[in-house]
């Protein structure tokens, strides 16, 4: 029986993880569940799964959760804030941590899981985008096991030989990595009309069911840019090795090209339970409840080149990774502020990359050797972008 902590249990990844786990009750025990502010959903999950710990990132939400469970489930210990998240990510009895908190809020507990030598199932790409080398060093130093959950990175992992971590991609013959992208809801949208896009339109992803922030990132292609940065750290490579291509069907999740001309790909229906089950069971396999892929029904697979004119956020991510240091943390911080401003109706969709680029121009990155430096530059970028939002206004970004 393996004990698991799920960071971000009420989100899409967290709920899909619980769906996979409930199919294998003899193998996994849910020890801790966490959420940000969704008291209703976490209450339901606590009643169903009976964890030893439940954490709300928001302290007021934690108090509400405590009041709801203190009589019916007094054995569940309610914790709050970053301290509570770090505690349940580091529990001695826990061997697996699903890191599924969205955004920079997931950095500290995910890093704590790595420093505690856990098997870290990484769905929080911001941990690597922000802390990169520092995070990977923690994985190595504390002998943690890092397994990617993003469908693209999980696909790459499945297409690489097991010795790649020791030998390096060039030594095992890797020539190119192809990250596939669906193209989001605006792949064929008139570029001149993108400034009229609404939050609901941006969140209407054609293939994947995701939270609103990630859905907007997919629409701007920043999500793919963050995945490029994440892939560089996961697979110890450079941006030049990684090419993004549009694949509207979202059936091939990524590909690895070798020097002998071989091109290996991982295919499955677009369902996050596939990479989740792969990482939970690794190196074995287990049933995930996923609909089997019928190639005769699909019949045809399409690929397109990406336009950086349509998706400038992807260019900004490549540039940030090439600059290195805290620049990727600055990129991520600016993006989070800009996306939230768009969702709140403060700016237009097309203002998102403009705000990010201005922030990158004015907030200079530094060497990312210390966590405190990373967190400081994250806050510097957030403050600068927030001030830009005030001055930009709803009519900018046309």
- pLDDT score for 397: 46
Q: Where are the domains of the chain?
A: 2-149, 156-268+291-298, 324-392
* Cβ atoms 54, 79 nearer than 8 A: yes
**Confidence (pLDDT) at 96:** 98
Predicted local confidence at residue 359, as pLDDT = 98
Type and span of the H or E element at 35: strand 28-35
Task: Confirm or reject CATH 1.10.10.10 for domain 324-392, answering yes or no.
Answer: no
Residue 148, SS3 per DSSP? strand
* Ramachandran angles phi, psi of 349, nearest 5°: -55, -45
Buried b (16+ CB within 10 A) or exposed e, 346-384: bbbbbbbbbbbbbbbeebebbebeebebbbebbebbbeb
CA distance 301 to 238: 28
Residue 359 makes CB contacts below 8 A (sequence gap 6+) with 330, 333, 334, 381, 384, 385, 388
Distance between CA atoms of residues 103 and 143, nearest Å: 25
The residues near 148 (Cβ < 8 Å, ≥ 6 apart) are 122, 154, 156, 157, 230, 234, 275, 279
375 alpha-carbon distance from chain centroid: 18
Q: Do domains 2-149 and 324-392 have the same CATH topology?
A: no
Q: In what order do the strands lie in the sheet with 145-148?
A: 77-80, 53-56, 28-35, 2-7, 96-99, 119-122, 145-148
The helix or strand, by DSSP H or E, that contains position 226, with its residue range, turns out to be helix 222-234
CA angle 29, 58, 365 (to 5 degrees): 100
CA distance 280 to 96: 8
Query: Are 233 and 133 in contact, with CB atoms under 8 Å apart?
Result: yes
Residue 140 tokens read as 């190595």
Cβ proximity of 41 and 35 under 8 Å: yes
pLDDT below 70 — which residues of the chain? Answer: 205-210, 393-398
Give Cα separations from 388 to 74, 103, 392 (angstroms). 47, 20, 6
> Which pLDDT tens digit goes with each residue over 67-104?
999 999 999 999 999 999 999 999 999 999 999 998 88
Q: Is 326 strand, coil or helix?
A: coil
What is the Cα–Cα distance from 359 to 233, expressed in whole angstroms?
Answer: 23
* Distance in angstroms (rounded) separating the CA atoms of residues 315 and 224: 10
Q: Is 260 exposed, middle or buried (0-12, 13-18, 19+ CB in 10 A)?
A: exposed
Q: What angle do CA 49, 15, 298 make, to 5 degrees?
A: 140
**pLDDT at position 398, please?**
44
What is 2-149's CATH topology? Rossmann fold (3.40.50)
Neighbours of 52 (CB within 10 A): 18
Distance CA 386, CA 61 (A): 25
**What is the side-by-side strand order in the sheet with 252-258?**
242-246, 174-181, 252-258, 263-267
CA dist list (Å): 96 to 90, 116, 144: 10, 11, 10
Name 101's Cβ contacts closer than 8 Å, sequence gap at least 6: 7, 8, 11, 34, 36, 57, 85, 109, 110, 124
Backbone angles phi, psi at 289, to 5 degrees: 80, 15
């Amino acid at each position: 029986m393996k004990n698991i902590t799920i960071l971000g249990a009420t989100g899409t990844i967290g709920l899909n993880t619980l769906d996979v786990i409930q199919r294998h009750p003899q193998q996994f025990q849910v020890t801790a569940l966490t959420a940000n502010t969704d008291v209703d959903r976490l209450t339901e999950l606590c009643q169903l799964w009976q964890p030893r710990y439940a954490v709300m990132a928001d302290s007021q939400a934690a108090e509400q959760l405590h009041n709801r469970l203190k009589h019916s489930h007094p054995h569940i210990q309610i914790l709050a804030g970053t301290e509570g998240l770090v505690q349940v990510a580091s529990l001695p009895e826990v061997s697996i941590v699903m890191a599924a908190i969205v955004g920079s809020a997931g950095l500290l507990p995910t890093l704590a899981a790595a420093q505690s030598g856990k098997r870290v199932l990484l769905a929080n790409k911001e941990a690597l985008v922000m802390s990169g080398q520092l995070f990977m060093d923690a994985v190595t130093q504390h002998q943690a096991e890092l397994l990617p959950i993003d469908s693209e990175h999980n696909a790459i992992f499945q297409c690489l030989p097991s010795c790649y971590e020791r030998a390096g991609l060039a030594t095992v013959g890797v020539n190119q990595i192809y990250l596939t992208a669906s193209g989001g809801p605006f792949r064929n949208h008139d570029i001149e009309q993108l400034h009229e896009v609404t939050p609901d339109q941006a969140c209407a992803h054609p293939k994947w069911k995701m939270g609103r922030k990630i859905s907007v990132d997919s629409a701007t292609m920043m999500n793919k840019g963050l995945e490029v940065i994440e892939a560089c750290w996961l697979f110890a490579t450079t941006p030049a090795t990684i090419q993004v291509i549009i694949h509207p069907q979202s059936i091939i999740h990524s590909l690895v090209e070798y020097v002998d001309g071989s091109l290996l790909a991982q295919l499955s229906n677009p369902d996050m339970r596939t990479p989740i089950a792969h990482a939970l069971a690794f190196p074995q396999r287990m049933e995930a409840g996923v609909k089997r892929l019928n190639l005769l029904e699909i019949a045809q697979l399409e690929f397109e080149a990406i336009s950086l004119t349509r998706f400038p956020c992807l260019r900004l991510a490549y540039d940030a990774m090439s600059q290195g240091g805290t620049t990727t943390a600055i990129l991520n911080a600016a993006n989070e502020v800009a996306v939230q401003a768009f969702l709140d109706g403060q700016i237009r969709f097309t203002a998102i990359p403009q705000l990010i680029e201005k922030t990158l121009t004015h907030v200079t990155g530094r060497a990312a050797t210390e966590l405190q430096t990373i967190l400081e530059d994250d806050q510097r970028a957030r403050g600068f972008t927030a001030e830009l939002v005030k001055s930009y206004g709803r009519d900018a970004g046309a």
